[in-house]
Amino acid sequence: MAGAGDARTAQPRDVLVIGGGPAGLEAAWTAAARGHRVQLWEAGQALGGQLNVLRDVPSRARYLKLLDHQQAQVLRHGVTVHLQRRADVASVLAVRPDVVVLATGSSPQAAPAVPGGGPVYDVTLAVREADRLGDTVAVVDLTGEWATLSVVEHLADLGKRVTVYSPVAAVFWRTTIYSTLATTRRLREKGVRLAPLRRLQAWDGRVLTVEDVSCGELHRHEADALVLAQYHMANDSLRAPLQAAGLQVREAGDCLAPRTAMEAVYEGARLAYDI
Ligand SMILES: Cc1cc2nc3c(=O)[nH]c(=O)nc-3n(C[C@H](O)[C@H](O)[C@H](O)COP(=O)(O)OP(=O)(O)OC[C@H]3O[C@@H](n4cnc5c(N)ncnc54)[C@H](O)[C@@H]3O)c2cc1C
């Protein structure tokens, strides 16, 4: 199969990749391997984006291999990397690259005010502060996504009693049917309880109240902590002003629409072949 090095460009261009998560890393090294002059700006102290949270999740260690591979390719193909460099409109216009690749990812929404006023963890915080969650953890999943599944499995691996509540008639509905064959078995082995058709009503830090969506009954369950998984919001605020300033802007990954690392890597590579 042909690789990026076999599809070298006849017209090397100056490419600025903004964001060093899986989408930006893939776009950067692929464009550089094709012969473009590429620099990558990352606001944080390290490359890897959201996937860095999985450094604390042994069952998802394969994602670290992805990041290692991408960083090795970035080095090998001579991408100039700037860490702790946050792009804004002025700094990008000062550079005026031929192409801007936006790979700025996504951020969690602010936790909503839950009646009862108990503390609420988002999925990232649940990994980072797992030892503060106690033994019995309620996870209310509004996304059906891999991110929640990763965190649920991790908490169960740590020996916690985990119950997953979802407001719809399924759990983890945005993972594929093929994955579900394996993950359903794993969740059962890990003792995770699944409670679809349950809508969060209240949480006071000790008792969770959920409504059975089918009949309106209220159920109360004790828990030590509540994790609320919500959709992320795309970090896409640079797109419109950079386009309005006449720059050619391309996008990949969660900044286009928050999803998973798989789409981020695919879209990063795909757009680098079009530059
Ligand atoms: C807890 C958790 C578990 C997950 N588990 C899985 C899983 O099991 N499988 C899976 O496929 N996906 C999982 N995901 C989702 C996956 O991590 C994301 O879909 C993926 O990281 C998106 O990649 P990205 O490169 O588009 O964006 P991001 O990973 O968000 O990276 C964007 C980068 O851009 C940087 N940035 C933002 N703005 C600027 C700026 N102005 N200037 C410079 N840099 C900037 C950010 O600092 C960040 O490093 C999980 C996510 C979380 C939070």
Contact by Cβ (8 Å): 162, 193: yes
Domains delineated in the chain: 4-107+232-274 (3.40.50.720), 123-229 (3.50.50.60)
Q: In ligand 1, which atom is closest to the CA atom of 88?
A: 41
Dist CA 17 CA 43 (whole Å): 12
Q: Which of 66, 81, 148, 260 has most ligand 1 atoms within 8 Å of its beta carbon, as the pocket-test mutant? A: 260
Dist CA 262 CA 174 (whole Å): 13
Q: Which of 40, 104, 239 has most ligand 1 atoms within 8 Å of its beta carbon, as the pocket-test mutant? A: 104
Judging by beta carbons within 10 Å of its beta carbon (0-12, 13-18, 19+), is residue 246 exposed, middle or buried? exposed
Ligand 1 centroid to residue 51 C-alpha, Å = 6
Residue-level length of the chain: 275
Q: In ligand 1, which atom is closest to the CA atom of 23?
A: 25
Dist CA 174 CA 170 (whole Å): 10
pTM of the model: 0.93
Residues with CB under 6 A from ligand 1: 18-24, 41-44, 49-51, 53, 60, 86-87, 103-106, 123-124, 127, 146-147, 150-151, 235, 253-255, 259-262, 264
Q: What is the pLDDT along the chain (275 residues), one digit of tens a residue?
A: 456 667 899 999 999 999 999 999 999 999 999 999 999 999 999 999 999 999 999 999 999 999 999 999 999 999 999 999 999 999 999 999 999 999 999 998 888 889 999 999 999 999 999 999 999 999 999 999 999 999 999 999 999 999 999 999 999 999 988 888 899 999 999 999 999 999 999 999 999 999 999 999 999 999 999 999 999 999 999 999 999 999 999 999 999 999 999 999 999 999 999 99
